[in-house]
């Protein structure tokens, strides 16, 4: 079974999470079972929806945190309980050796994610050009010839 990584939008419009969750379950269904291995940074939005689906299908979860301050300073209060629950269920957690979160740390986490997976799911509307972390990770995956599955169901929107 391939190791599947996730990149995607964090801020989803109302009603979009349900659409994206359904699409992720559909995309992951062929890989369901103990051999399923998901790799995520557990950011809000796409990453967490993916992690929930991987665990629901009986797979294992590998987490890559971008910096030492990520868990403490970058997780919003409204999202803390879900983040902590998913983190506690991870088979492994790697914290990158960066002091602070930010664009460079997120890019490094994306690069590490690509080293640890065989296939990338991108929950991405493709409307942000090359300016977002998601677009950078997708471009890097394509440069190295990694298969990328773009998931953006009809009706999904960003906030």
- The string of pLDDT tens digits covering residues 99-146 is 999 889 999 999 999 999 999 999 999 876 555 788 899 999 999 999
Q: How far apart are CA 67 and CA 95, in angstroms?
A: 6
Per-residue pLDDT, 128: 64
The structure's pTM equals: 0.94
Distance in angstroms (rounded) separating the CA atoms of residues 156 and 143: 27
Q: What pLDDT does 130 receive?
A: 55
**In this predicted structure, what is the pLDDT of residue 75?**
87
Q: Is 89 helix (H, G, I), strand (E, B) or coil?
A: coil
Please state which of the ranges 79-83, 130-134, 154-158 shows the lowest mean pLDDT.
130-134
Choose which CATH entry (3.50.50.60, 3.40.50.620, 3.40.50.970, 3.40.50.450) describes domain 3-151.
3.40.50.450
Contact present, 42 and 63 (Cβ < 8 Å): yes
Domain boundaries of the chain, sorted by first residue: 3-151
Three state DSSP letters for 94-116? EECCCCCCCHHHHHHHHHHHHHC
């Amino acid at each position: 079974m391939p190791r599947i990584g996730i990149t995607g939008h964090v801020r989803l419009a109302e009603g979009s999470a349900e659409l994206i969750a359904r699409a992720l379950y559909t995309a992951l269904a062929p890989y369901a079972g103990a051999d399923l291995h998901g790799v995520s940074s557990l950011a809000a939005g796409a990453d967490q929806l993916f992690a929930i689906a991987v665990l629901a299908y009986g797979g294992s979860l590998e987490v890559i945190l971008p910096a030492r301050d990520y868990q403490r300073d970058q997780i919003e209060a409204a999202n803390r309980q879900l983040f902590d629950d998913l983190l506690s269920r991870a088979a492994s957690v790697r914290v990158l050796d960066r002091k602070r979160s930010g664009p460079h740390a997120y890019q490094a986490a994306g690069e590490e994610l690509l080293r640890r997976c065989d296939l990338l799911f991108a929950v991405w509307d493709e409307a942000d050009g090359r300016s977002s972390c998601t677009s950078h990770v997708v471009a890097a995956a394509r440069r190295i010839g990694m298969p990328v599955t773009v998931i953006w169901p009809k009706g999904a929107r960003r906030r």
